[in-house]
Structure 1
Amino acid sequence: MALVLTGCPEAGIDPPGDDDSSSGDDSSSGDYTIRLYADDDSNPYELAIDGDVFPYEIGNVLETTEYATDYFRGWYSDSEFEIVVEGPLTSADFNEDTRILDLYGKWGYEIGERGPAGGWIFYDDTIGYDKNRDGSIDSDEKNLLGEQDRFLETAPEDLPLPTGAQKFIFGYFHDDNEEEPKENIIMETQPSVGEGEINTDLLVNTVENTGVDVYKGDKLVSDRLPESEYIPLLCLDFQVDDFNDWFLPSLDELLLMHVRLNLAEIGEFNNTTTEDSDGARKSSFYVSSTEDQSVSWEVIGINFSYPYEYESSGWYMYITSIYRGGDFNNTFVRPIRAF
């Protein structure tokens, strides 16, 4: 016995009509009734359960290919989604007098929740974000991810440094066939949400076809960056359990990570300020996949040590330019994924 859920607003499925609330089973023939609430406390889906089938597997309560499987979180016994019901069900789970059990289905993730890969959710495409910094979220500031994606999730940890490496390197791009002095190439990477994955692919594809200058301080030490130290490629190769779809966040994606997670003390980021031997203070920076479009020797990062609360006019207080020609000092990388 299984319910075919024909309507679920959370999953983008049209709600059923008045006489389309259950599968083909006659609800009046069962000894027990499960009432399923897809998104709120109205119009439950009723499923008749014969008392002879106990124990009843909770997985049989929902059987459909029409809802977004990745976003279904489970059935709960309360509308606040605090008590998950995993089954199998027995008669003791039902109201003793009415023989009714109410179950509430949860879809999607809240900002700050743990995601499927063990990281933290920081963006929901159905909500969007204030892209143009005017204090409101308009319709063109939503649905910015790919057709199959809704959420952005950070990795559960920073990108580990390659074996033997002390710091990450971003490097310059230049045309190998160009005569000296070689001019640096800007790849026109973009800052908006939804651009991080595109930026990362662009940067990785470019490094395969161009030279990359590597500096130690101001001294050029190589015109070919080792792939084992190249940040965008390291993000593409990053893997957590079975999840291997990571990329380097764009500027706005990184900003949202800082504002929605780091400032709320979520995400286990490096956000301390240290002092070097000369007493100079050093903040903790995270690097984005967005290049500085006006200065070819810099890539844009975010100061995660900056403690101030977010204001709609104050996003840029966190932004910093990072010298891309040398080793990154006190700089960290946190890959992200879309799903």
Structure 2
Amino acid sequence: MFKRRSLLIFFLFILGILLLTGCFLTKTFMVTFDSQGGSAVESQTVKLGGLVTEPAVPTKTNYSFGGWYKESGCINVWDFDSDIVIDDLTLYARWVSSTYTVTFDKNDSAATGTMTVQTMASGTTAKLIACAFTKTGWTFAGWATTPEGTVTYADEASYTIGTASVILYAKWAPPTTYSIRDIGPAGGLIFYDKGNYSGDPSWRYLEAAPSDQSTGTVWGCYETEITGADGSLVGTGKQNTMDILAECTTDDIAADQCRDCTLGGYNDWFLPSKDELYWIRANLKDAGVGNFESNYYWSSSEFDVSLAWDQSFGTGTYYLSSKNINLRVRAVRAF
């Protein structure tokens, strides 16, 4: 009788343990996801000691998702691979404000200066950095959203950035309109106006220095052909000069005299081409201005290995002269 009672008690004890254990093993808890302003995320039911299934990433305009955390302040991150559920809980989304950049482009190879990239949080508004670019003789007009576009934002205007980085392009207002024989920005005399701004870098006027850079020097590189220095038209003198300086090693030549010229704060002078030389004589020398001599002036236009074009400012006649003789030099610049 005693044995039977003991067995019954033992059986009931084991049964109670099993029932109690089963109760805990089947107990579930509710896991709620608080997206803190983001898109809704479904709650999950998880067994005691179970792992939470990582949900699809929620979204929030102008923000990047930064993970799920155990508290709304987003201090302790929830590890979906190791953290277990022991009670009802809420997980909180962390959001990182998306930032984008505003890059400033000079939009003209003749413009100079540098500007830092401006960083802004998506959807925010801030004053644009003041323009630090400059272009000789031109005025900064504002910013466009495309290189060829019109001004959309004034200097230091308020700007609201969206969901992508942007480039703003400087737009330049041309200088005061000049007439032939007006004093130019560098203090020289305007001798040519092509009527509009074009080219790269953009230019409209040609300005001659107010006096000669040399009373007699050689063209240089006699019996050596300079590749590319054969331009004769208006607008080719600058490239001719660059080609001469790049290839000719003769010292103190006509192109050197122009390159080394600094007048009115400008150092972009060059030796004029054959046709540019023509307009200097026609619009300045023949009008009795510019302090020109009735003598021979070099152009930057090469003819062959031994000869280059020059012009008599007395008669207006062009000549092909040996590159090793001494002639006068007058520098010009485009703007």
What range describes the TM-score normalised by the shorter chain of this pair?
0.3 to 0.5
> Greater RCO between the two (CA within 8 Å, min separation 6)?
1
Q: TM-score, normalised by structure 2?
A: 0.46
Rg comparison, structure with higher value = 2
More strand by share: 2
Taking structure 1 as the reference length, what is the TM-score of the superposition? 0.46
